[in-house]
Structure 1
Amino acid sequence: MDSPTRQGKKPYLAVVLIQAIYAGMFLLSKVAFDLGMNTFVFVFYRQAAATILLAPLAYYFEWENAPPLSVMTFFKIFMLSLFGITACLDLYGIALIYTSATLAAATANCLPVITFFLALSFRMESLELGAVTGMAKLAGVGVCLGGAATLAFYKGPHFSLWSHHHHLHHDHQTYQSHVSSGRAWIKGCFLMLSSNTLWALWLVLQGKVMKSYESKLRLTTLQCFLSSVQSFIIAIPFARDPHEWRLGWNIRLLSVAYCGIVVTGVTYYLQTWVIEKRGPVFLAMSTPLSLVITLFFSAVVLHEIITLGSFAGWRTVQCSVGEEQRAEISC
């Protein structure tokens, strides 16, 4: 039997794993999109792969003791899948074409702020400004915003970790010519923020849906299945060329397999578990961790330039995670 201390550490270990997986998603999907993969087709394949992975597991582990699925609960799950997964991922894919993997990870730092205020509006979180825990949560949100702003707007001196070139880096740079630095970047930032807003809404409403449907694995599988159907319908008018649907033994297949099996299949279930144990805000406050990992591997693998602002922002968001953890421990 696990000790209380080990039980208390499990949510923290889970969110570290979740954010490490998401960092891999930022990097692999960015490379796949820059090499010409249709973003809508990508979303369909990753959701379909997750469904194929999770369906047998859900049938084996939760078929006999699964709660009944009412029409109203199914409708809630359908809408949650449509906006929180399908629309969120489609917007993310388009935004990533105009921006970078590092910015995708940086803008994800808006999640704690958006999730916190959405959770407040749904009365899933409370904020007592007179209490130490309330001030710590507010400070964590503020510091997190400051770190994200530093990463987004302050550059400073820059340097590269490596002077040589890798094949992946060469291909990645070749397909960057279509990304403009003005309107396209602003459009990408806006779409990424919209995607994160839908993601935050999914985090909050996921907890409410679980109260009426407690089978976590079946809930995750059903959302993946519904999202795959929704994304397929959306992808049809945007990918009429049959060649856009083909997957070879290349980075496209690797990114689809990783995002479908590891990201969608594993992290969705882990997120559902963390939300049940510690709430949506706790999960959202861990997003800066993916930024740290993405910054490092973007420099090493994609040869993106590291700036002083990156280090300053990394240190700031690291402090925000510490503030939130101290607030959670004090509760």
Structure 2
Amino acid sequence: MGADLLPFLSMVLVQVGYAGMNIISKLALDSGMNPFVMVAYRQIFATIIIIPFAYFLEWKTMPKITKHILFQIFISSILGATLNQCLYFVGLKYSTPTIACALNNLLPAITFVMALPFGMETVGIKRKSGQAKVLGTSLCVGGAMLMSFYKGSLINIGESSIHWRYAENIRQRNSSNEENTFLGPLLIVASCIAWAGWFIVQTKMSKAFSAPYTSSALMCFMASIQCLVIGAFEEQHIKEWSLASNIRVIASIYCVRP
């Protein structure tokens, strides 16, 4: 019984972790941290963390790194790290953690649709399994979009007795809320499309290069350079790159997802 519950509990913990990431990241963004700076630090920390695993676990056994593999890793760094995360965190800046979590549910549906032309997925509309895929995809997309874009009447569920004074102070200082009910969700959806493309490239690459730690380390290293260049153009004030604030350090490390 315990072994059967382990995958379920693991996925629940993953979702809790993503929810925490959205909340902590939103606080860092509300404190004035540039989303491009956050993404650059995130990739740098991810590279530092993953390199020891790649060296000690795969250095002697990994397949040969060819030009074709390097190109696939480069494409992965653009789609899954740079483009996906830049779009996501800019979108998070202009939306809320709840909307970001809801729109992440579009990822399986988008991946399914994008994988169809590559023959990685089949519909089989005449079979019950195919009909379930189509129905599940429609419900997933419809539910996420409804929650994100529909603005109905507020339901009064009372005020929470839990108050995080630090978060309240940040929100008060940033009283000019930059939420945009269209731009924020749109950017998050775009990040899901980039992430889905990363899954497709990774599926192809993993068949020829079965060294996940090494490929992740190279991907994060390439993404670090890309994000540093983008961040340098976007934020040219050195003081805005400071990690003196605790929430910025915590957000940059917490958000590491090689």
Q: Under a length normalisation based on structure 2, what TM-score does the superposition of the two structures give?
A: 0.90
Counting only pairs closer than 5 Å after superposition, residues 49-68 of structure 1 correspond to structure 2 as 49-68=45-64
Conservation of the 8 A alpha-carbon contact between 2:72 and 2:201: no
The question of 1:39 aligning with 2:35 is answered yes
Query: How far off its partner does 1:62 sit?
Result: 0.5
Residue in structure 2 matching 1:141, options 118, 137, 160: 137
The question of 1:246 aligning with 2:242 is answered yes
Secondary structure of 1:69's match?
coil
Q: State the Cα deviation string for residues 71-121 of structure 1 (Å, max 9, x = none).
A: 111011112101221011111121111111111111112212211101112
Cα–Cα, structure 1 residues 164 and 22, in superposed 2: closer, same or farther, change >3 Å? Answer: closer
Name the amino acid aligned to 1:171: N
Q: Which runs of 5+ in 2 are unaligned?
A: none
Query: How far off its partner does 1:24 sit?
Result: 1.5
Conservation of the 8 A alpha-carbon contact between 1:30 and 1:100: yes
The question of 1:170 aligning with 2:168 is answered yes
Query: How far off its partner does 1:35 sit?
Result: 0.6
Cα–Cα, structure 1 residues 223 and 162, in superposed 2: closer, same or farther, change >3 Å? Answer: same
Query: How far off its partner does 1:15 sit?
Result: 3.5
Cα–Cα, structure 1 residues 160 and 219, in superposed 2: closer, same or farther, change >3 Å? Answer: farther
Q: Under a length normalisation based on structure 1, what TM-score does the superposition of the two structures give?
A: 0.71
Counting only pairs closer than 5 Å after superposition, residues 31-180 of structure 1 correspond to structure 2 as 31-152=27-148, 153=150, 155-156=152-153, 157-163=155-161, 165-179=163-177
Q: State the Cα deviation string for residues 130-182 of structure 1 (Å, max 9, x = none).
A: 2222122222222222322342215442324515643133224225533356x
Cα–Cα, structure 1 residues 90 and 186, in superposed 2: closer, same or farther, change >3 Å? Answer: same
Cα–Cα, structure 1 residues 172 and 232, in superposed 2: closer, same or farther, change >3 Å? Answer: same
Conservation of the 8 A alpha-carbon contact between 1:35 and 1:171: no
Secondary structure of 1:29's match?
helix
Moved more, 239-248 or 16-25: 16-25
Query: How far off its partner does 1:248 sit?
Result: 1.9
Cα–Cα, structure 1 residues 161 and 150, in superposed 2: closer, same or farther, change >3 Å? Answer: farther
Query: How far off its partner does 1:127 sit?
Result: 1.1
How many residue pairs get matched?
Answer: 256
Q: Which runs of 5+ in 1 are unaligned?
A: 266-331
Whole-Å Cα distance in 2 between the matches of residues 62 and 10 of structure 1? Answer: 27
Whole-Å Cα distance in 2 between the matches of residues 239 and 180 of structure 1? Answer: 18
Name the amino acid aligned to 1:30: K
- Pairwise CA RMSD: 2.2
Conservation of the 8 A alpha-carbon contact between 2:93 and 2:178: no
Whole-Å Cα distance in 2 between the matches of residues 217 and 80 of structure 1? Answer: 14
Higher helix share: 1
Counting only pairs closer than 5 Å after superposition, residues 287-302 of structure 1 correspond to structure 2 as none
Whole-Å Cα distance in 1 between the matches of residues 10 and 205 of structure 2? Answer: 21
Query: How far off its partner does 1:10 sit?
Result: 6.0
Counting only pairs closer than 5 Å after superposition, residues 3-14 of structure 1 correspond to structure 2 as 6=3, 12-14=8-10
